[in-house]
Structure 1
C-alpha cells in the first residue's frame, strides 16, 4: 500500500467515496469577516457540503447526525493560500501526499496554484473535487509562461508573440482557470498573451515581466501583481532603464521617488489591481543569509530532501543574486516593502494572502499562510483586515462571494474552528480545533493523527 493510501484509509471520515452528512456546530462564536462582529452562542447547520442554517443556539435545536459542541471556540471561513506551487520542479514529487494534506492540516481549504506541471495539477484539482484525494479545493494555472531561457521545469518557454498565443490557447483548451505570466516573458509576446487571453475569455495574472512597465501591465488588463513586482520599478525615475538593464533592491532604494510611488499606487487603486505580496516569502528571500531555518519549530513537516538538499541549493542560488547588496540594505528593503503595502492598503488597493509555498527556503505549506497573515499585521493591517486577505478577499477575487468567504446559509461548508479569537491576535489562526472541508469534518483528533503521519512521511523523503 502506498503512503497516500495508508494516510487516507487511516482517516475514516475521509473515505474515498465519503457520503454527505448532516453536521451541526453548536454554541460557537461565529466571526463575521465583513464587519468583524462576533455572533456568540451560535449554531451552524451543514447539510452535505452547504451551510443551511445559522442562528442563536437558543433558537435552533439541531437534528443532525453529528453535533459538535463548540463552547468557547471561534468559527471562521476556511482559509485560502492564493499563491502556491504544488507540483513545482524539485518538490513536485511531494505534492500529492505531503503538500496538499499539509494545507488541510493547517486550515487552508482552498488554494490558487500559480505554476505547476500541467497534468498532475489538473488531475489533483479534479480528484480533490471528487473526494478521491485529500487536499484543498484548487484554482490552477498549469505551467507558467516564462521567457526563452527559463530554468523552471513547470514553465513554458515563450520567445515570440506566436508562442504566447499558442500557449494561451493550449492551456485554455486543457481547462486551466487562469494564465500565469513570469518575469522573463519578452515584451511583444506579453502583449500577445494579454490579447489572446482577452479573446478566449480567460484572465491572466502573475509577475509584471522585466520588459514591461507596471502602468502597461495595468492598461493591458493584468489581474494581479505578485510579490509587488513592478511597483518598485515604477517608483524610480530609472524605470525605463530597468526594462532592459540590471536592477537590484539597493538601486530601488537609492533612486526611490515618493511622488512616482504615489502615482503608481493611485493607478493601482483606480483600476483595483489585486496585490499578492507574499511578504513572508519575500522576507525569507532577501534575508536568506540571516535566517537560521534549522531553528524552525515546524521543521518536522518539511521533507528531509527539502531541508538537506533543496533549501541549501536555493540559498546558494539566491545568494548569487544578492552579493551586490549587503545585508543592511536588504533589511531596509524588507521594511520598505511593508511600507509600500501599508500605503497601498490605505489607498484601498485590494490584497490577497499568498505564500509561494513550497518554493523558496523554509516556506512550509499550510503553516506559512498563518505567518503571512502576521506579516500583514506588521504592515499595519488590523487582525480583521489580515484575516480578510485569506477569507473574504479570495471569494471576491474569484467572484464566488455566494459560495465562500463568510459563514452564512448557502455558502459551501469550508470552515475552521479556533480555540482563540483571531481578531485579538492574528496568530490565533494557528490554534485550530477542527476543520470542515467541503462539508466533511476533521476533528482535533483527526488533525493530530494527520499531522503525525505527515511528520512520519516527511522524515522518509
Structure 2
C-alpha cells in the first residue's frame, strides 16, 4: 500500500491507483502559474500555490511566497491553475438501448476515472439507476481503491409509471415517494430527483421528508412547472429552462404536455414572461443547472463532445458516427433553441441566480463523462460568459449549492487542495482546457492523460 496524506488523515491507495498518481508529497509548491481561483476575481499571473498535507496553505506572487525546504516543486510557467470542477448533473451510467427501448447502463469503472481525468473532483449524481453501486463507488474511491471524484449520491428517480425505460425507478403516489425518500436517505443518499411525470403531491411529500434532514431536491420536470416547483420548495432545477413547462398554453395540472419544446421555440428570447419566471426563481433561491453538452446540436460540431470518441467501444463509435452523419443540416430548430437556452441561462445569472454546471451523460450518447465536463466550460464561454465566470459557475457555485464552499470550489488558503493544472492560457483560448496535465484531489496529483489512455475503448463495457 502507498501512503498519501489527506486533510486530517492518512489516505492509502492500492497499487492499481498508485500507477496513475503523478504527484504525492506532503509538501508541494506550484510555482509561476497563472491562477484563476474560482472566486470570480480576475486571474493572477506569476503565482505560487503551496500545498501541505492535502490543503492549500498559501497563494501569492512568486517573489513573496517562500517555498518550504523539502517541498516538491512544479514549475507552472505558461500554465493555468483552476479549482477542481464541482459539477452537479453527473451520472455513472451511459445510454445503452435495450432492444427497441431507450435505456441506460452503469459504467462503474470507466466513468469515475473519466470524471477525475476531466478535472472533476466533486460530483453530484443527479439521479441513480443503481444507487447501491453509486454508494459503493463513493466508498471505494474514498478508500483509495478506485480512481474518481468525491461524490454526493442522489437516490433513484422519483417518477410515476409512464415511460418504458427498463432501468428507471418509479413510485405510485406521494406515500410511496415519501417512503422511497426515507429509505434512500437512511442508506446514505444526499439528494433526490423528481422526474418528468412526478406530481405536485409527490414533490410536496419528498420535500416534507428531505428538508428536515437537510437534504435537497432537484428535478427534471415536465408535469410540474418551474413556478409550481419553486412554490412547493424544490432546491434546484435541471437542464436550464429546457424542461420548463411554464409557457405551455392551457397546461393541464400534473400532466406532462407533449409541446414543451414548441412552447419554448415560440417564446421570444427576451420575453417578459421569462424575465418574470427568472425573478421568481431567484427570489425563491432555486439553483439552476446548466447542462449545455447534452443539448448541443450536431451540425458542424463534434461527434462526441470534448473529443471523447475513442473512449467508446468500437460498436458505439460506429453508432455515434452514424447518428452524427444522419443529423447534419437537420437540426436548425435545435440550434435556435440551444442559442435561446444559452441566453436564458445568462439572464438568470445576471439576475443574481445561482447557476451551476453539469453535463448529463445520457441523451443520444454523445455526452461522455470527463470529456463533456471540459466541453461544458467551452460552451459557457460560447454563451457569452467570460472564462473567469465559466470557471466560477463550474467550481465555487457548485460548492455553494452543496454547502461545501468553505472546503472546496476555490484556490484559497485553508481549502482542500482540489485543483487542475492546464498547459495553456484559458483566457486566450478556452479550448486549452482540454490540455489538462495534473488533477489534484486532496493534494494528490493524478496524471490526466494517463487515466484517459487507460479508459480508451472501455465506455460501453463497464
Q: Same fold (TM over 0.5)?
A: yes
Per the alignment, residue 55 of structure 1 pairs with: 60
SS of equivalent residue, structure 2 residue 169: strand
The answer to whether the 8 A contact 1:122-1:142 is kept is no
| Mapped partners of 1:427, 1:50: distance in 2 | 28
Offset of residue 368 of structure 1: 0.9
How big is each residue's C-alpha offset from its partner over 1:326-346, in whole Å with a ceiling of 9 and x where there is no partner?
844333222222222232222
Correspondence 1:131 to 2:144: yes
Per the alignment, residue 406 of structure 2 pairs with: 402
The answer to whether the 8 A contact 1:24-1:64 is kept is no
User: 1:27–1:228: structure 2 CA closer, same or farther, 3 Å change rule?
Assistant: closer
Correspondence 1:448 to 2:423: no
- Number of aligned pairs? 438
Per the alignment, residue 110 of structure 1 pairs with: 122
With 392-401 and 59-68 compared, the bigger mean Cα shift is at 59-68
Correspondence 1:384 to 2:396: no
| Mapped partners of 1:11, 1:420: distance in 2 | 22
| Mapped partners of 2:237, 2:365: distance in 1 | 22
User: 1:271–1:433: structure 2 CA closer, same or farther, 3 Å change rule?
Assistant: same
How big is each residue's C-alpha offset from its partner over 1:181-218, in whole Å with a ceiling of 9 and x where there is no partner?
1112133222222222234432111223x222221100
Correspondence 1:269 to 2:282: yes
Per the alignment, residue 9 of structure 2 pairs with: none
SS of equivalent residue, structure 2 residue 455: helix
With 171-180 and 396-405 compared, the bigger mean Cα shift is at 396-405
SS of equivalent residue, structure 1 residue 393: helix
Normalization by structure 2: what TM-score?
Answer: 0.85
The answer to whether the 8 A contact 1:169-1:200 is kept is no
How big is each residue's C-alpha offset from its partner over 1:394-438, in whole Å with a ceiling of 9 and x where there is no partner?
121112121112111111111111222223332222222322112
How big is each residue's C-alpha offset from its partner over 1:18-73, in whole Å with a ceiling of 9 and x where there is no partner?
x8632221222222322433333322221221112223333312224422121222
Offset of residue 86 of structure 1: 0.3
User: 1:163–1:408: structure 2 CA closer, same or farther, 3 Å change rule?
Assistant: same
Match of 1:216 among 216, 222, 228: 228
Offset of residue 154 of structure 1: 4.7
| Mapped partners of 2:116, 2:312: distance in 1 | 15
Correspondence 1:194 to 2:193: no
Alignment map for 1:18-417 (pairs within 5 Å): 21-58=26-63, 59-87=65-93, 90=96, 95-116=107-128, 117-208=130-221, 210-229=222-241, 232-240=244-252, 243=255, 245-254=257-266, 258-284=271-297, 293=303, 297-308=307-318, 327-417=331-421
The answer to whether the 8 A contact 2:226-2:244 is kept is no
The answer to whether the 8 A contact 1:403-1:412 is kept is yes
Structure 2 runs not aligned, ≥5 long: 1-13, 97-102
SS of equivalent residue, structure 1 residue 293: coil
User: 1:83–1:297: structure 2 CA closer, same or farther, 3 Å change rule?
Assistant: closer
User: 1:54–1:264: structure 2 CA closer, same or farther, 3 Å change rule?
Assistant: same
| Mapped partners of 2:282, 2:373: distance in 1 | 25
User: 1:458–1:255: structure 2 CA closer, same or farther, 3 Å change rule?
Assistant: closer
SS of equivalent residue, structure 2 residue 204: helix
Offset of residue 171 of structure 1: 0.8
Which structure shows the higher helix fraction?
Answer: 1
| Mapped partners of 2:76, 2:315: distance in 1 | 39
Structure 1 runs not aligned, ≥5 long: 320-325
Offset of residue 248 of structure 1: 4.3
Task: State the Cα RMSD in Å.
Answer: 3.2
How big is each residue's C-alpha offset from its partner over 1:331-390, in whole Å with a ceiling of 9 and x where there is no partner?
322222222223222212221111002553211211111211222222221221111111
| Mapped partners of 1:140, 1:69: distance in 2 | 36
Per the alignment, residue 323 of structure 1 pairs with: none
How big is each residue's C-alpha offset from its partner over 1:94-138, in whole Å with a ceiling of 9 and x where there is no partner?
623211111122212121111221111001111112222101111
